[in-house]
Structure 1
């Protein structure tokens, strides 16, 4: 799989796959839930019926609605399976703004709760849908890792090599599994980034290692910005159900939901200029200093917008900068122009990656409104060697395809782009995203035919498909 495909997948971690048949029903209340009146639904009820019941029940509570919604959805897993439970969550998201805001975290918690045994890991993982930024997938992987931790087992090469192997035939599922490994390792290592990255390095497969790095850096931001979205938080909500434990999930986007601090870490606002016992960090070295690898870890630093990307070894930096704008926006209150200026100060090879990250976050800041996204990206004009606004825009389109698991959404955005040169780049990136969604060249080629007249070749080139006639006729 090409590096560009990995970068596209990391933009949002929500690609295309069909939900599998859920596991069979079981009887009795879900563990950790107090007995009470039987719900007014059965496993055969429609997702709409169950979602209406959940809204009625959780409308009566006087505390946060999210724990109530999560408890009720967790109770459904044993009766209807994770696939059906996620269908109910998706239905709630469509009609309830509170649930919509927390949807990714809820999906993550449901994945954690759905994990049961190593023997059922692959089937449970495959039963998750790609909705809600693929949170279900990553939660299932975390559930597995947390179960190992409770047995005193630290995941090693054999675990990392074997767990994603059942999904290798699907580029999408294989990536989601490998990316989830990073989240799982953060749970096992108490959100200590250097130790978790070293855990990623134990994988024999290079793609698993690279994907794992992205999961680690996502989790590092999550556990600072939204601590209630960690696996620890889900465990409290679920009353000990399933594979509850310690960790959380990714930065959805700056003001919307990047995510935060875990017990044992230093404050996120610590001075990253001297992050570890006064030892200066040198990103130019291929190996972090021992104190950095195994000492206390400072997650983020409001006074250093490029931290921790500027203190990790060079081989980890691209994965770090792919998420870094979420951390910057968290501390500056969603200031896109200030974030663009910070990206402009990144090492030369990472500037583009940082602007692409900003585009992902702009998607959320603009509530996926295409005109607003273009307006926000325009605030990066003149930066990044004059390409900051373009790179931001490409981050937007990349994320739109991934969020909706729909190349058409990216193409609709490209139609709103006025510059002909930028429009060609826009369709090329749609093609790159298509390549992460579809393994078959024929399907990728068909998808690109929906581009505006003259721009299908750009899409095909991005998708790795030879244009008809072998020439680019843009």
Structure 2
């Protein structure tokens, strides 16, 4: 079987595939403060987590209570300890695992205390939970701008992520958080916000910024509480003036531009409709080509929300995407399948099997790669990705799986020795595939142990 061209998907997925668990999370319950804390900032994370579960009657049963306590903990014990407590809750409570990334967003916003300390807070965020903490710190910066009535330009956008340029992982996550934050500045109007991202000088930052915009656009509809404005309101910050601006039924501002073939930025004052029940590819179907990769890498979150969670229907919708966007769309489906499968690797693999005959026979492979890349990205280690690859049975797919794990590690482990060591945990016969993905010098040599 010829090897599929996965370059468009792999160019984006290393830092964009965060779990879109909002699809399966239940609606937030009314806040509950519970009993007074029986712990101090120096208490072990497990002790704090146990108290929090009791105080909130189980995090899944009372999500806002959990979020409020975690946000308070950031101020009391620092973002590192607070994230350690979140990690503990995620290990023991399946409910928290379905929205850990979003909780980390809110905690990151709480960690932002001003522009002078923003870069230190950003760097202090742990890499887990799909970098939600990093995204939140950047969102906090933009909520601060909104409260002051300031509009960022090229100088501000370029300076924001520049300190993190040496670290590819942090640099990309900063750009993604920029997209989330700018949506608050521009009142969740996608065309305006895309134009704002266009002001960034670095194409890598622009592309990751676009991805944050499209993710925020979907969450705005599916769970408004989890948007930048929603987090800001939860924490007493000033969010966007109207988190629901432009939600009319008309497709305001959807005219094609002669320059870009995209949403006409000249009609930026017209209303914006985030999603369209009659078009599962919208808004990807109306934005210009330069925005489509970042849009399609998020789009199945919208599809599954609108179709009631049908993987098959989402797969057929992905087949309607432009040819070069299909690998990205099916990869997006793989990411979202993880939430539907409740993080069960075998179930995720079986669900990807439902699209095996789609995408010219490549749907299952692209979907599977979306799963494994997201597993590595969420945990910020190769371990879960390796465990998933061991369940893959077809040699061709298994090889691509391990190769994808190696590629994901490029942004997480800068040293060749680190990536080489991680690849040694691959199955005999597939270490070379992992090393090839990790771009190690001897990767072309066939693995001798078969």
Q: Where does 1:56-455 land on structure 2 (aligned, <5 Å)?
A: 56-59=54-57, 65-238=62-235, 240=236, 243-246=237-240, 262-267=243-248, 270=249, 275-276=251-252, 280-281=255-256, 285-290=260-265, 292-455=267-430
Gaps of 5+ in 1: 15-32, 248-260
Q: CA 1:34/1:219 → structure 2, altered by over 3 Å: closer, same or farther?
A: closer
Q: Does the CA contact (< 8 Å) of 2:191 and 2:265 recur in 1?
A: no
1:324 Cα deviation after fit: 0.7
d(CA) in 2 for partners of 1:291, 1:201: 15
Q: Does the CA contact (< 8 Å) of 2:32 and 2:62 recur in 1?
A: no
Q: Deviations over 1:313-370 (max 9, x none)?
A: 1100011001111110111111111110010011111111111111111122112222
1:291 Cα deviation after fit: 5.1
d(CA) in 1 for partners of 2:299, 2:35: 47
d(CA) in 1 for partners of 2:426, 2:75: 43
1:50 aligns with 2:48: yes
1:119 Cα deviation after fit: 0.6
1:164 Cα deviation after fit: 1.3
1:123 Cα deviation after fit: 0.8
User: Under a length normalisation based on structure 2, what TM-score does the superposition of the two structures give?
Assistant: 0.88
User: Under a length normalisation based on structure 1, what TM-score does the superposition of the two structures give?
Assistant: 0.84
d(CA) in 2 for partners of 1:55, 1:319: 37
Q: Does the CA contact (< 8 Å) of 2:83 and 2:104 recur in 1?
A: yes
Q: Does the CA contact (< 8 Å) of 1:284 and 1:314 recur in 2?
A: no
Correspondence for 2:13 among 7, 10, 18: 7
Q: CA 1:45/1:353 → structure 2, altered by over 3 Å: closer, same or farther?
A: same
1:306 Cα deviation after fit: 0.5
d(CA) in 2 for partners of 1:421, 1:244: 51
1:53 Cα deviation after fit: 2.3
Moved more, 225-234 or 178-187: 225-234
1:373 Cα deviation after fit: 1.5
Aligned with 2:116: secondary structure?
helix
Gaps of 5+ in 2: 1-6, 21-30
Q: CA 1:204/1:419 → structure 2, altered by over 3 Å: closer, same or farther?
A: same
d(CA) in 2 for partners of 1:455, 1:166: 37
Aligned with 2:321: secondary structure?
coil
Aligned with 2:426: secondary structure?
coil
Aligned with 2:117: secondary structure?
helix
Q: Does the CA contact (< 8 Å) of 1:5 and 1:436 recur in 2?
A: no
The runs of at least 4 consecutive aligned structure 1 residues that moved more than 4 Å come to 33-38
Corresponding residue of 1:461: 436
Q: Deviations over 1:114-148 (max 9, x none)?
A: 21111100111111112322221111111111111
Q: CA 1:313/1:292 → structure 2, altered by over 3 Å: closer, same or farther?
A: farther
1:423 Cα deviation after fit: 1.2
Q: Deviations over 1:81-109 (max 9, x none)?
A: 11111212222223334433332222211
d(CA) in 2 for partners of 1:320, 1:407: 26
d(CA) in 2 for partners of 1:304, 1:312: 13
